[in-house]
């Protein structure tokens, strides 16, 4: 593979970065809106889930 083709390949990948960033932003916005909707719909379950997740992460962090 020549240096020119390598540079061209890298340039094409760099050109795709803004589209990938935008797609990731939209995905995260979707997850955020779904999460907020779930918390509003089931506040008690959300709090219990958060406590459970924190408990599990705390136990895991003791071993790492």
Ranges of each domain in the chain: 3-63
Could you tell me the pLDDT band of residue 13, with boundaries at 50, 70 and 90? Answer: confident
Q: Any idea what DSSP says for residue 42?
A: -
Taking each helix axis as running N to C, give the angle between helix 43-63 and helix 3-41, from 0 to 180 degrees, rounded to the nearest 10.
130
Global model pTM greater than 0.95: no
Could you report the per-residue pLDDT of 28-41, keeping only the tens digit for each?
A: 999 999 999 999 99
The encoded tokens of residue 57 equal 């992460």
8 vs 33: which has the higher pLDDT: 33
Q: Of all helices (H) and strands (E), which one includes residue 9?
A: helix 3-41
Return the percent helix, strand and coil in the chain, to nearest 5. Answer: 95, 0, 5
């Amino acid at each position: 593979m020549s240096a020119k083709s390598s540079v061209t390949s890298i340039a094409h990948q760099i050109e795709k970065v803004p589209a990938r960033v935008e797609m990731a932003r939209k995905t995260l916005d979707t997850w955020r809106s779904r999460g907020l909707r779930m918390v509003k719909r089931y506040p008690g379950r959300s709090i219990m889930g958060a406590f459970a997740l924190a408990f599990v992460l705390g136990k895991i962090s003791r071993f790492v």
